[in-house]
Structure 1
Amino acid sequence: MFISLTTDFGDAYTATCAGVVYTIAPAATVLVLSDEVTPYAIVEGAMLLRQALPYLPRGVHVGIVDPGVGTPRRPVAITTGRGDVLIGPDNGLLPPAAERLGGAVTAHLLENPAYRLPEVSSSFHGRDIFSPAAAHLAAGTALTDLGPEIDIADLVRLDLPAPVIGDGELKATVLYTDRFGSLITSADENDLTSALGPLRHGTVLEASWHNGTARLPYEATYGRVAKGEALIWTDSSGLLGLAVNQGSAAEHFGLGDGAVLTIRRALAH
């Protein structure tokens, strides 16, 4: 059975989770997809899972970005149309990935103490609840044994801002900043085309925000501009972003998550 782990824990805590999995299911194949999600950044973690999991083998995928750990937020397992099981907190982290894996089919609470560690801390459910659940599933335990089924309609969903397509302009919100400092937005290439019409790479666009504006080329990739220069491009998940070739757009523009960008065709100088 293939198991992946995605966390905001860093190396040591994520390795502890992997150790729990191997202790219960020593024959499992465990991949740490990432332990570098920005701490507490649920949207960033959700977008990473959404982007990456379709390229991983079918299996059990544990996602842990859990600022509500120890509160009444629920630990859940979601089965998908592709046949995967997604395990993590019910805080919006998992549904975007489930949608990319054929949709959520069923959801269960992880309530049965027989499939947790004997002592459950108030702050490390990744070790004590989520990793044991994944390992027991890999070892052949039925999902129905881990806890009762719940209505998938009751799962927490992220309230992501939708892009706004206007006549000649596109408003998009920065969802997260990746590890290179690129600003990834809520809009995709189709949204851009709907707002501005067909665009050739190299077309100069204007991006503006609450206290600034910039003229940026729309390019296929970073290397189409000089080192240190900025661009608008479509990332590997299909979302529009602002990047700097071998630099950080977040630092360059002083922008971060939640910033609203208005993108238009630039007027000729």
Structure 2
Amino acid sequence: MPAARPFVSLTTDFGAAYTAICAGVVYSIAPAATVLVLSDEVTPYAVAEGAMLLRQALPYLPPGVHVGIVDPGVGTPRLPLAIETGRGDLLVGPDNGLFVPAAEELGGVVRAHILEDRSYRLPSVSATFHGRDVFSPAAAHLALGVDVAELGPPAVPLPLDVAPPETGGRALTAAVLYVDRFGSVILNAGPGDLAEALGDLEYGAALVARVHGTGGPAAEPVVFAETFGSVAVGDPLLWVDSSGHLGLAVNQGSAAARFGLGRDGTVTIGLAD
């Protein structure tokens, strides 16, 4: 990390006040650091949503120490980790798959170590606020130049637990990764998966989206479109979002509400009859 002005980012599902406490801990240990709150608005407990935000955002941030805290397993045997990436970034947070997609965008995982050494924690560690007591102090010490291996023994980070896309029977089935603030539903599939299932599609192709295990409509026509304004206001579309994932959206509306989808949903896309 640059000695004169280390960079630390924070991404949490905490909201502003608890995230500010974490920033304060970083500043108290590394007062020269630049600390950016990337987001404190990740949907509570939505690990995949946090993972996708980190994957999309971190390549555009300066190399540094990036804290991610979406941690429904806080206080359980899940491990606290620091991960070094090929670009040189250090990712600090729970070992629940939150960082692996971002690490892959940053040159891959070079090494990972458990945050075990109490020298790099606060003196008193709460069972439910590891963001303040474990992750933020570790991040600050790493920003000051402590080698990641000094924090504890090596580990292999867990992958993000999201079902992979399935292709077959002229259809693509994909799990929901997250729902954004506009109600657009981002799927765990990309344009390559769509082409494998349905062949090369032109924009404007007529498709059918079928949702599973929800109270939404069993099937609804959608258009494969380049952007929201390609369809009429209120109409649904399938598009490729800025991070390369497929998504269901409604022009100036909520696809989550229209299709009855949440983060545990699954969608099958097929060609219209």
For Structure 1 versus Structure 2, the TM-score category normalised by the shorter chain is over 0.9
Match of 1:238 among 240, 244, 252: 244
Aligned to 1:149, what secondary structure does the other structure show? Answer: coil
- 8 A Cα contact 2:64 2:89, kept in partner: yes
Q: Percent identity?
A: 65
Amino acid at match of 2:253: G
Residue 148 of structure 1 deviates from its aligned partner by 2.2
Q: Which residue of 2 aligns with 1:41?
A: 46
1:23 maps to: 28
Pairs aligned (count) = 264
C-alpha separation in 2, matches of 1:199 and 1:33: 36
Q: Encode CA deviations 1:65-85: one digit per residue, 9 max, x unaligned.
A: 011111121111011111111
Contact kept? 2:211, 2:261, Cα under 8 Å: no
> Letter of the aligned partner of 1:224 in structure 2?
S
User: For 1:37, what is the secondary structure of its paired residue?
Assistant: coil
1:86-97 matched pairs, under 5 angstroms: 86-97=91-102
1:172 pairs with 2:177: no
1:238: how far off? 0.6
Distance in 1 (CA, whole Å) between partners of 2:193 and 2:267 is 13
Which stretch shifts more, 256-265 or 42-51? Answer: 256-265
Question: Normalising by structure 2, what TM-score?
Answer: 0.93
Q: Secondary structure at the match of 1:36?
A: coil
Alignment match, 2:59: 54
Secondary structure of residue in 2 paired with 1:67: coil
Q: Which amino acid aligns with 1:170?
A: L
Does 2:116 align with 1:114?
A: no
Partners of 2:92 and 2:239 in 1: how far apart?
32
- Given the alignment of the two structures, is residue 63 of structure 1 paired with residue 68 of structure 2, yes or no? yes
The ranges of structure 1 where at least 4 consecutive aligned residues each deviate by more than 4 angstroms after the TM superposition are: none
Mapped partners of 2:44, 2:161: distance in 1: 19
Corresponding position of 2:3: none
**Structure 1 portions without partners, runs of 5+:** none
Question: Alignment partner for residue 185 of structure 2, among 177, 183, 206?
Answer: 183
How far residue 198 of structure 1 moved from its aligned partner, in angstroms, is 1.4
Gaps of 5+ in 2: 1-5
